[in-house]
Structure 1
Amino acid sequence: MTNPQLAVVHQFITAQLTGSTDLSVEGMRNSLDAAGKLAPPLPGVTCEVVDTGVVRSEWFRPDEADEARTILFVHGGGYMLGSIDSHRDLTSRVALASGANTLSIEYRRAPESPFPAGLDDVVASYRWLVETAGKDPSKIALVGDSAGAGLVLGATLRIRDEGPLALPGALVCMSPWTDLTCTSSSLATAEDPSAQAPYVAMMAQAYLGGADPKHPLASPLFADPAGLPPILLQAGAAEALRDDSERLAARCKEAGVDVTLELWDEMFHAFQLWAGMLDEGKRAIEHIGAFVRAKI
């Protein structure tokens, strides 16, 4: 590994996994939240708690936001972990890069609330933005990482199929988890500190709660993507879920969807979370900001 920043991040993530003595769901949640709180608040963005009547939610408001542009941010964490706090730094960076007021939500998680509870919360939060906050759907981008990106895709598919809401203007998916069958070749072969096969399989089982792993709203790879809005897919070239992005991009292109796939050399799963320590993470978020500004 020739990238010194990457080596440090790998060591930090590995130490988190091997150094934790509490591998309960609550223990893993606390560990991820604690890691998220290590990053200092970013200047230029203000956080504001908002009561949407759906789930815990916060606005991330850049000082120089375009008031017409909105992001709905959906955190990752294998459908079991993650929160507004664990992703506060990433959410702030995306909001600043995009110049968009960003609503971050804390959807219900497995195993307490399996599929489709989290999906329901994303759709309900999007409905709140449109019907209560009065946001123009064409000026909303749905943004998520890992499982959050899976929820972004699933929610958009449901909106497309069920209505009556109009589709959002764009989607951004960082290291999306699109295949809960957990059979991709990259998952079996990649040495990824952030997405190890046994944990991925366990989280898929917990989230599905007995549902079909090929259900298109749980595994968007198996859905017909026709009619989806423009999509930016970012994945690490060395990550365990690389195939999830590559296969989805191919299906989107076949269906005529405006899709952009970025594979980042040497990067691991959800590397953007570590933008405070990784130059590649910072550049990837700059790309996200440019995409959002161009599409909405």
Structure 2
Amino acid sequence: MITSERQKPVFRFAPSPNGQLHLGHALSALLNRDMAEAWHGRLLLRIEDIDQARCTPDFEAGILRDLDWLGIGWESPVRRQSEHFAEYQAALHALIERGLVYPAFLTRGEVKARVAAYEAAGESWPRDPDGTPHYPANDRERPEVEWRDMLASGRKHAWRLDMRKALALTGELLFWTETGDGRSGEIAAEPEAWGDVILSRSDAPSSYHLSVVVDDALQGVSHVVRGFDLFPTTSVHRLLQVLLDLPQPLYHHHRLVLDAQGRKLSKSEGDSGLAELRARGLSGADIRRLVGL
């Protein structure tokens, strides 16, 4: 039986060009390539460059050089998120029209002050899996006439998902299918752990959460292979997929490459940068061995 291009499994490697790729990125890229080949599937490259203040063409060019050096090919064209803001805004407006998001006007400093005052009184403020305090819930209770006036005045704001309304609307437990390292099977999603997540800001037309689920759907991604540090965010992605009536991919969260102190690698760690390792004379085969493949 001949499998059409549309029926083939679709994988994607989706780096952000805000620094150099390191060994952790190499593991993810190689796993995506290896799994795509094993499944006779397709491999896409997506450049997640929404943060235009930090993402640069030079870093993107470095990503392409590193992937070519690793022997990883991908289908053309490359999808750049900065070229698709209209699609993310369309998804956001669909949620706005259903009353599932609200404009949040508190600055980071104001939120920090509220949390500090609350905790100084001996109370515990909820925090997300990354340790960031939840946005104050009472801000979403502003009368509509008030926040519309604030929007009309040009007040800076973010659009946040009303987690309470979103969970009430789904009306059922959310799950995703996981095949990754350590945990597999049907995983219960817990999006409430993240509070009212940001979907858009005045200085960024879309958030990571919103753009990634829209991209995966539009690109027909069937298998999401990424680091275990993103395992908790899948709860938010599953919720958004349900709210936007988007297909659910399979997820595979792989082990992380850690430094000598047991910490996740960072783009600021030059010693693990692929460009630096290439300059030392290492080969793509050496990188496979270094990441345990």
The answer to whether TM tops 0.5 is: no
Between structure 1 and structure 2, the one with the greater Rg is 2
Q: What TM-score results when the alignment is normalised by the length of structure 2?
A: 0.30
Q: What TM-score results when the alignment is normalised by the length of structure 1?
A: 0.30
Higher normalized contact order (CA 8 Å, seq sep 6+, divided by chain length): 2
